[in-house]
Amino acid sequence: MPDMHIDLTRRRFVGACSAALAALLVFRRDALALSIPPHPTPRPGITAARVLTKQQLAATPKLIPLFDSVRAIPQIIDGIRCNCGCTDPPLFYSLLSCYEGNGMARDCFICQGQARLAVRLHKEGKSLAQIRAAIDAKFG
């Protein structure tokens, strides 16, 4: 059996560990990117008719302006995937679903944060694609 002696210096060891860690992080990032579903396509003719009203939000009056803002741009909010994990397709289609009926937006800070960001960026004239990218960067 030949001599299996490997000359491993501290520098080589640290370098090998760094390379292994970098490869692991790249693999994990790529695996996570594959598991994230795409943003939904806004449904044709979508309205905000099911978004909770001021009367339905009487117990949480501080949320009324946010729900009103969502109500103003349903075609944008319907094209955004909710990143909080509280949705259960097919009952929930998009972030807009979180603001309808028994949706989670009354209690979920992620749903609220995504909508606030979307509303602000829409007011700044950003496209749906730009809004999605910003939401993915912050919440994805």
Query: pLDDT tens-digit profile of 82-96?
Result: 988 766 666 788 999
Asked if residues 27 and 68 have their Cβ atoms less than 8 Å apart, the reply is no
Q: Using only C-alpha atoms, what is the Rg of the chain?
A: 22
Could you report the per-residue pLDDT of 46-93, keeping only the tens digit for each? Answer: 999 999 999 999 999 999 999 999 999 999 999 999 988 766 666 788
Task: Return all residues near 84 (Cβ < 8 A) that are at least 6 apart.
Answer: 98, 104, 108, 110, 111, 114
pLDDT(130) > 90: yes
pLDDT category at 9 given cuts 50, 70, 90 is: confident
pLDDT(8) > 80: no
Asked if residues 110 and 84 have their Cβ atoms less than 8 Å apart, the reply is yes
Place of tokens 């860690």: 21
CA distance 70 to 104: 14
Place of tokens 């000359």: 7
pLDDT category at 17 given cuts 50, 70, 90 is: low
69 φ/ψ angles, rounded to the nearest 5 degrees: -65, -40
Average pLDDT of every residue of the chain: 84
Give me the residue spans of the domains in the chain: 61-139
16 φ/ψ angles, rounded to the nearest 5 degrees: -65, -40
